[in-house]
Amino acid sequence: MIQVKNSMQLNAMKEAGRITGETLLVARELVRPGISTKQLDDAIRAYIEKCGAKPSFLGYHGFPGSACISINDEVIHGIPSAKRFLQEGDIVKIDVGACIGGYHGDSARTIPVGRVSDEAMQLIKATRDSFFAGAKMAVAGNRIGDIGSAISESVSPYGYGVVREFIGHGIGRNVHEEPDVPNYGTAGRGVRLCNGMTLAIEPMINLGTAKVIMLPDGWTVKTADGKLSAHYENTVAITPEGVQILTLIDNDF
Q: Share the mean pLDDT of the chain.
A: 98
- pLDDT band of 168, cuts 50, 70, 90: very high
User: What pLDDT, on the 0 to 100 scale, is given for residue 85?
Assistant: 98
Domain topology for 7-245: Creatine Amidinohydrolase (3.90.230)
- pLDDT band of 126, cuts 50, 70, 90: very high
User: What pLDDT, on the 0 to 100 scale, is given for residue 84?
Assistant: 98
User: What pLDDT, on the 0 to 100 scale, is given for residue 182?
Assistant: 98
Q: Where are the domains of the chain?
A: 7-245
User: What pLDDT, on the 0 to 100 scale, is given for residue 117?
Assistant: 98
User: What pLDDT, on the 0 to 100 scale, is given for residue 73?
Assistant: 98
- pLDDT band of 130, cuts 50, 70, 90: very high
Buried b / exposed e across 216-235, counting CB within 10 Å, b at 16+?
A: eeebbbbbeeebbbbbbbbb
User: What pLDDT, on the 0 to 100 scale, is given for residue 40?
Assistant: 98
- pLDDT band of 142, cuts 50, 70, 90: very high
Question: What percent of the chain stands above pLDDT 70?
Answer: 100
User: What pLDDT, on the 0 to 100 scale, is given for residue 232?
Assistant: 98
User: What pLDDT, on the 0 to 100 scale, is given for residue 95?
Assistant: 98
Query: Mean pLDDT throughout 41-51?
Result: 98
- 146-163: pLDDT as tens digits: 999 999 999 999 999 999
Query: Mean pLDDT throughout 170-196?
Result: 98
Query: Mean pLDDT throughout 159-179?
Result: 98
pTM: 0.98
